[in-house]
Structures are given as structure tokens and as C-alpha cells.
Amino acid sequence: NAGVTQTPKFRVLKTGQSMTLLCAQDMNHEYMYWYRQDPGMGLRLIHYSVGEGTTAKGEVPDGYNVSRLKKQNFLLGLESAAPSQTSVYFCASSLGSAKNIQYFGAGTRLSVL
Amino acid sequence: GESVGLHLPTLSVQEGDNSIINCAYSNSASDYFIWYKQESGKGPQFIIDIRSNMDKRQGQRVTVLLNKTVKHLSLQIAATQPGDSAVYFCAENIDTGGFKTIFGAGTRLFVKA
């Protein structure tokens, strides 16, 4: 049981490049989330999904897109990376009946130069 | 990651003492309040939660207190151990008009052996 797995762990991009962050969970959770973590600001919700084929905006969705084609996977895309998107990105998942208990991946550290 | 939390409030306690970590929240509509622990290089890990209609909840070595009058939340850790050294985040869940989890900036707990 791997829990929540994020790939890649590290990535460096140039401004304007695109990339996709992958998140996979093997706990059959309905809800999945993408957060970014910046120094002194805690975690901020980017997008979330309440089930396969559905996504919704969180607190800071601009510049990001997501897709949930399969229940176990939640993808976060950056179409045109900007230096302001330099951050640590965390994926999480939870049961729909227990949204308080979110299980987090180990994070992806992204630098945009 | 290493760069997260450089400017966080820090609480330093002696091993075996009790720790109290405080958090102020702003949203009266929050349904649940949650505490997460984040060790260096890892994602946050759920510790304990409390529903908004409760004042106190106890877990194993941890107690969460909620004071809605002054919008204050605290996490008490009994007999603090070196393994408790981490950054602790409070979070609020709001599940009306769209789901939101709002994280605080975090407090770094340092346990002296």
C-alpha cells in the first residue's frame, strides 16, 4: 500500500515551458487535492476533485489546469510556467465521508527560472 | 522541503515537557478544525481534528482545544519526544458553497533532548 505517490520529486523549468505533475493514490479515495506550499504561507489549495471526471477550483487556481480521468490519478498541469509558480506542490487524497483526514504525498519541488 | 518554514514561529521545549501550539482562525463558517504535522522533506500528516460544535477532543498524547469566542485553536502534546520535532499546521475545513481547506502558516516545534 503506497498511499499517495507524486512524480517527479524535483523539476527545474524555464519560463514559458509546460509540464504535468502526476499524483496517484491506491486507497480508493473519492477526493483528491493539489496544494502549493510557499515559505511562511502554509499550504494553499489550487484545485480539487470530488470524483472521476470532475474538478473544481480552489483558492489559487490561476495558471494551473487539472484532470481526473481515472479515480486513482489527479494531474496538475502548468501550460506556461512563470517564476511565481516556483513552489513545493503537494497532492492529497481523502474519503468523501472524511475530508478532514487528507493523506499527502511527499511533494514535488518545482523551480521556474 | 528545506526552504519551507524559514520564517515560522518556533517553539522550543525540553524532552518530556508538555507543548502547546496555538492557532488563530478567521472564518466563523468553518465546519472542522484540523492539526497536521509536517516533518522535513515530507508531506503533512493528519494528527487530530475537532468539529466546530465541540470544545475539546483528546487523542493519543494530543489534545485539541477550540475556543470559538476568540477564534482560537490549540494543540497540546503531552510528554513531548524528539520525534515530535516538526512543523505543525492548523487548518479549517469549510464545506458550504464549495469545499475549502485553509491552512495556517505553521509553527515549528523543536524538542531538546
Please check whether residue B100 touches A, CB under 8 A. Answer: yes
By the 10 Å C-beta count (0-12 exposed, 13-18 middle, 19+ buried), B96 is classed as: exposed
- Please report the DSSP string for chain A in residue order: ---EEEE-SEEEE-TT--EEEEEEESS--SEEEEEEE-TTS-EEEEEEEEETTEEEE-SS-TT-EEE-SSTTEEEEEESS--GGG-EEEEEEEE-TT-TTSPEE---EEEEE-
What pLDDT band is residue B29 in, cutting at 50, 70 and 90? confident
pLDDT tens digits for range A52-86? 999 999 989 999 999 999 999 999 999 999 999 99
A88/B101 Cβ within 8 A: no
A99/B93 Cβ within 8 A: yes
Closest CB to A107: pick one of B1, B46, B100: B1
pLDDT tens digits for range B64-107? 999 999 999 999 999 999 999 999 999 998 887 667 888 998 99
Q: Please give the pLDDT value at position B1.
A: 32
What pLDDT band is residue B5 in, cutting at 50, 70 and 90? very low
Please check whether residue B111 touches A, CB under 8 A. Answer: no
